[in-house]
């Protein structure tokens, strides 16, 4: 059988089975290029997409993973070269239609020996029953026998292809038309049609109710499947970038941070790929909009659906106890048992979850054992690998396949684990930074250069003006994760203490971390002895959070660096709250204030605050001294929980950040200036009482 006849038969078989096929080519580069040259044309396929250096007759794709979202093809090819390729492979696998063929080039032994990730990649490809392996100098195998699944599912009157998709669409419609505060969460693996269900529901609402529907997601490109489904049902609708209008109704994209910050009039808010957004942002959306639906990929390269499921479900239980989940199981774009879906999941560790904990019962945290994790052994031990990456994936919403590559292969990085009863129950990822050349540090200080990596030293040099950070060495803690079974029991703090002792023994100067700031995260790090030394002035586009940098000194020089950096942050923070950080999350501001070194308020501050609390002067007369009291005392009072969350939030908004009366009323739900001032007087009384007790 000729190669063309073989590939034609394989494609015909895949089309009839409504599945995709994976072909691994073992041979030299010249043979592979001859075999694949002009194959799309020879098979009658309009286009074959190749990631990287494409053979003749294929379209070479050099963009990122996001550029493949929403695209479809019948032939695809791939050769792994960089960490970013892991994400691109995940996106490429999702773009291949039923009946499609994916060609993978086996990593060479030399390449695999240089990469733990690729060594595992090679092992999975060589042992997977879902991959068809073709060798240059061996006879090719016969075509595999596969069941024929028949015709694709029939579309119903509103475009649904499966009963799961129909149930999902109807559940979204009930959110818009039924009782308020009854959100729905659509969960599915990729290819189940959940985004299309969003689009079909939006089309019905536009057509039947002239509804205003907002869609948000990690990017506009990531929501294109929603728009495509809406337009398919309303082909006469007016279409423009990020917007579909049908008569008086519209579907439009709004960035998630804007949607959370500014209340937008909408009959329904849709949050697509919710796993790629932080839980804190999702909570704000849930609080702001009474009619809202979420959709997330449970196992996908875009982000961790496990983190979403584990963490956000708690917020839903608390804030919207009437919520419901609709799981889509039946594939829409290909048939069940698809070979590419199975092998992609194994190669990219998409389906990892934290270790199961039956039998652990009331096992105490003091049974924990800390250890460095040998990454070579880990890459060869799938059970332990899945435990480690299951924890990391569940703990962070944006854990992607490229992270696995870096964490396994980057020699500056290290993995650390905590075992309880033999299973990994906590894990940390660190990267070594610092030791910059003096001339490079000088160029960074002047804003002339940036070095690859070394995030913490560069921030301290460029933004805090701390040239002494140049020579010091430390570990930046990239991730830390604790199994849900042992959360809130001190295991994370204990893990940090073990890292601290290990780093001190290694002669390092500091430990640090950078993360999207939330009140809870800042409290965790500050309680562990870390100082907040920097908040980024701009919000991250998808999370809406400001990046925080925390530091803990270990050596004498490192402790000096921590002291100087925290002092400079404390010195600048009050001024930043009035301009670049004016819209900082109040609970982030509260934790920052609580972590700053406290200075006692002056007698004049106390005098004017007492006059305001007693109603003897106006807010405007007392405002400068009230702000001084707030910055001095509020963080400490908040930590002792002598103020409610609502009262503390109000004082940050009006006193620390100087927001307008109307904005404060909107954020707090108070009716206007008079009730705001009444609440402020009460809060000031609490601060004054705390000063008397200090």
CA atoms within 13 A on the CB side of 337: 8
Confidence category of residue 361, pLDDT binned at 50, 70, 90: low
Q: What integer best gives the mean pLDDT of the chain?
A: 90
For residue 98, give both structure tokens: 């039923």
Q: Which of 51-60, 192-201, 275-284, 447-456 has the lowest mean pLDDT?
A: 275-284
Whether 652 has a pLDDT exceeding 90, the answer reads yes
Q: Which helix H or strand E contains 434, and what residues bound it?
A: strand 423-434
pLDDT of residue 299: 62
Higher pLDDT residue, 318 or 252?
252
CB neighbours of residue 116 within 10 Å = 21
Whether 656 has a pLDDT exceeding 60, the answer reads yes
Beta bridge partners of 51: 61, 78
| Closest residue by Cα to residue 424 from 505, 514, 495 | 495
Beta bridge partners of 424: 419
Confidence category of residue 542, pLDDT binned at 50, 70, 90: low
Higher pLDDT residue, 303 or 109?
109
pTM: 0.86
d(CA 282, CA 294): 9
Q: Which of 106-115, 326-335, 564-573, 579-588 has the lowest mean pLDDT?
A: 106-115
Whether 310 has a pLDDT exceeding 80, the answer reads no
Confidence category of residue 409, pLDDT binned at 50, 70, 90: very high
* Most confident listed range (83-97, 343-357, 572-586): 572-586
d(CA 271, CA 226): 11
Helix 673-693 to helix 603-613 angle (10° resolution) is 140
Whether 672 has a pLDDT exceeding 60, the answer reads yes
d(CA 652, CA 658): 8
Higher pLDDT residue, 542 or 379?
379
Buried b (16+ CB within 10 A) or exposed e, 275-297: bbbbbbbbbbbbeebebbbbbbb
End-to-end Cα spacing for the chain = 89
- Sheet containing strand 531-539, strands side by side: 369-373, 413-420, 423-434, 473-482, 510-516, 546-553, 531-539
| Closest residue by Cα to residue 293 from 171, 176, 184, 177 | 184
Q: Which of 100-114, 168-182, 460-474 has the lowest mean pLDDT?
A: 100-114
> What percent of the chain stands above pLDDT 70?
95
pLDDT of residue 369: 95
pLDDT of residue 111: 77
Secondary structure of 362-382 in HEC code, one letter for each residue: CCCHHHCEEEEECHHHHHHCH
pLDDT of residue 154: 63
d(CA 297, CA 306): 9
Angle (nearest 5°) at CA 126 between 125 and 132: 75
pLDDT of residue 294: 96
Whether 80 has a pLDDT exceeding 90, the answer reads no
pLDDT of residue 71: 78
Cα→Cα distances 159→168, 174, 239, Å: 12, 18, 19
Whether 485 has a pLDDT exceeding 70, the answer reads yes
Sorted by where each starts, the structural domains of the chain and their CATH numbers stand as 3-135 (3.40.50.11040), 163-328 (3.40.50.300), 365-583 (3.40.630.30), 598-693 (no CATH)
pLDDT of residue 24: 95
What's the mean pLDDT in 276-294?
Answer: 89
d(CA 649, CA 590): 8
Whether 286 has a pLDDT exceeding 80, the answer reads yes
d(CA 631, CA 656): 7
pLDDT of residue 517: 93
CB neighbours of residue 148 within 10 Å = 10
């Amino acid at each position: 059988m000729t190669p063309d006849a073989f590939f034609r038969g394989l494609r015909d078989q895949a089309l009839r089975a409504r599945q995709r096929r994976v072909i691994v080519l073992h041979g030299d580069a010249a043979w592979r290029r001859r075999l694949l040259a002009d194959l799309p044309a020879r098979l009658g396929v309009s286009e074959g997409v190749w990631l990287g250096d494409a053979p003749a007759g294929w379209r070479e794709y050099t963009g990122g993973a996001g550029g493949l979202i929403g695209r479809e093809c019948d032939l695809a090819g791939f050769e792994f070269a960089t960490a970013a390729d892991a994400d691109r492979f995940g996106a490429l696998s999702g773009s291949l239609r039923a009946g499609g063929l994916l060609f993978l080039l086996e990593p060479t032994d030399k390449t695999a020996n240089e990469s733990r990730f690729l060594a595992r990649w090679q092992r999975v490809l060589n042992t997977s029953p879902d991959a068809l392996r073709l060798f240059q100098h061996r006879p090719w195998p016969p075509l595999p026998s596969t069941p024929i699944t028949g015709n694709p599912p029939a579309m119903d009157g509103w475009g649904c292809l499966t009963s799961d998709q129909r149930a999902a669409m109807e559940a979204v419609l009930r959110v818009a038309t039924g009782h308020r505060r009854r959100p729905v969460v659509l969960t599915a693996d990729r290819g189940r049609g959940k985004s299309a269900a969003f689009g079909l529901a939006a089309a019905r609402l536009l057509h039947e109710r002239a509804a205003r529907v907002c869609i948000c997601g990690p990017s506009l490109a990531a929501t294109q499947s929603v728009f495509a489904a809406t337009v398919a049902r309303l082909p006469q609708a007016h279409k423009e970038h990020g917007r579909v209008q049908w008569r008086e109704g519209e579907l439009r994209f709004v960035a998630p941070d804007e949607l959370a910050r500014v209340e937008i009039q909408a009959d329904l808010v849709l949050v697509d790929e919710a796993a790629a957004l932080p839980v804190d942002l999702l909570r704000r959306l849930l609080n702001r909009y009474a009619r809202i639906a979420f959709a997330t990929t449970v196992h996908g390269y875009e982000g961790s659906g496990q983190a979403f499921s584990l963490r956000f479900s708690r917020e839903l239980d608390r804030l919207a106890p009437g919520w419901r989940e609709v799981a889509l199981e039946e594939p829409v774009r290909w048939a069940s048992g698809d070979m590419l879906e199975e092998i992609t999941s194994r190669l990219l560790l998409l389906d990892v979850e934290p270790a199961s904990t039956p039998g652990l019962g009331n096992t105490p945290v003091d049974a924990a054992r800390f250890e460095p994790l040998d990454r070579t052994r880990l890459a060869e031990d799938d059970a332990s690998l899945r435990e480690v990456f299951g924890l990391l994936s569940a703990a962070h919403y944006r854990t992607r396949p490229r992270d696995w590559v870096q964490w396994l292969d980057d020699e500056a990085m290290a993995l650390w684990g905590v075992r309880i009863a033999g299973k990994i129950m906590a894990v940390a990822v660190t990267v070594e930074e610092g030791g910059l050349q003096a001339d490079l540090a000088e160029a960074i200080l002047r804003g002339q250069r940036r070095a690859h990596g070394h995030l913490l030293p560069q921030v301290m040099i460029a933004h805090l003006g701390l040239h002494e950070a140049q020579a010091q060495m430390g570990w930046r803690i990239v991730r830390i994760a604790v199994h849900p079974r042992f959360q809130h029991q001190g295991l994370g703090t204990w893990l940090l203490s073990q890292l601290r002792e290990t780093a001190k023994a290694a002669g390092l100067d500091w430990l640090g971390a950078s993360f999207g700031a939330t009140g809870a995260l800042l409290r965790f790090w500050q309680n562990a002895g870390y100082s907040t030394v920097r908040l980024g002035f701009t919000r991250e586009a998808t999370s809406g959070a400001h990046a925080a940098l925390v530091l803990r000194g270990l050596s004498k020089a490192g402790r000096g660096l921590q002291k100087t950096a925290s002092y400079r942050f404390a010195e600048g923070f009050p001024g930043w709250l009035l301009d670049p950080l004016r819209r900082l999350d109040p609970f982030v501001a509260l934790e920052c204030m609580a972590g700053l070194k406290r200075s006692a308020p002056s007698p004049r501050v106390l005098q004017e605050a007492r006059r305001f609390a007693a109603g003897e002067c106006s807010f405007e007369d007392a405002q400068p001294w009230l702000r001084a009291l707030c910055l001095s005392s509020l963080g400490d009072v908040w930590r002792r929980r002598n103020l409610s969350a609502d009262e503390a939030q109000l004082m940050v908004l009006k006193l620390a950040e100087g927001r307008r009366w109307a904005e404060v009323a909107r954020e707090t739900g108070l009716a206007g200036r008079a009730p705001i001032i009444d609440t402020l007087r009460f809060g000031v009384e609490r601060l004054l009482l705390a000063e008397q007790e200090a």
